[in-house]
Amino acid sequence: MISTNDVKPGMTLDLEDGIFQIVEYQHVKPGKGRAFVKMKLKNIESGVVVERTFRADEKVEQAIIERRAYQYLFSDHLGFHFMDVEEYGQVTLDAGQVGNAASYLKDGDQVNLAFYDGRLVGLDLPVSVELLIVESEPGVKGDRSSAGTKPARLETGLVVQVPLFVNQGDRIKVDTRTGAYMTRVS
């Protein structure tokens, strides 16, 4: 157990309605009354963000999350297949467990799987990934200086908005948190 006065953003808590990671934390001491703690919490399994208020010095259970490196192998009708890079054991996750991360996974990519009490609770992608553009319209000559964008289909099937100067066959860096184009990779 840990006091709400000792928590920090990034810590994980085991609450009655799930396992939550602290996104934001604010200790409030009003002029009258008792101090309290406002937290913005993200459910690790569902990704839902909620705001909760706790009494100052209230005890909550800290969840120790174990993260292990896995390599993405392939996907088929059974699900998404990953291999532990240290022990070479394989695990198969269904589409619900992988969620939006499927749009960023390529064969051979390394990801971290998060476990709590021996059960899988999440998949952590790197902040950005490099992907190849497989389909995109050519930019119109003369529109290069404007801030216009166009859709581009990537090798994983994800469609992102890219600047007009980016062409089919280019490699780009995509932010996995927002799904936004970051830069062209040479």
pLDDT tens-digit profile of 78-113?
889 999 999 888 888 888 888 888 888 888 889 988
Q: CA-to-CA distance for 77 and 60, rounded, in angstroms?
A: 41
One CATH from 3.90.330.10, 2.30.30.30, 1.10.645.10, 2.40.30.10 for 2-62 = 2.30.30.30
Q: Does domain 128-185 have CATH number 2.40.50.140?
A: yes
Q: What is the CATH code of the structural domain delimited by 67-124?
A: 2.40.50.140
Q: CA-to-CA distance for 132 and 51, rounded, in angstroms?
A: 38
pTM metric for this prediction: 0.71
* Residue 182 token pair: 């970051």
Q: What is the dihedral sign for C-alpha 146, 147, 151, 155?
A: positive
Per-residue pLDDT reduced to its tens digit, 165-182: 888 889 999 998 888 899
Using CB atoms within 10 Å of the CB of residue 20, give its burial: 0 to 12 exposed, 13 to 18 middle, 19+ buried. Answer: buried
- Cα pseudo-dihedral 15, 101, 108, 184, rounded to 10: -130
Full pLDDT tens readout for the chain, 186 residues: 888 888 888 888 988 888 888 889 898 888 888 889 999 998 887 778 899 999 888 899 998 888 899 999 998 888 899 999 998 888 888 888 888 888 888 888 899 888 888 888 888 888 889 999 998 887 666 555 556 788 999 998 899 998 888 888 899 999 988 888 999 887
CA distances from 117 to 19, 44, 64, 112, 163 (A): 11, 14, 8, 16, 45
Region(s) of the chain under CATH 2.40.50.140: 67-124, 128-185
Q: CA-to-CA distance for 168 and 20, rounded, in angstroms?
A: 40
Region(s) of the chain under CATH 2.30.30.30: 2-62
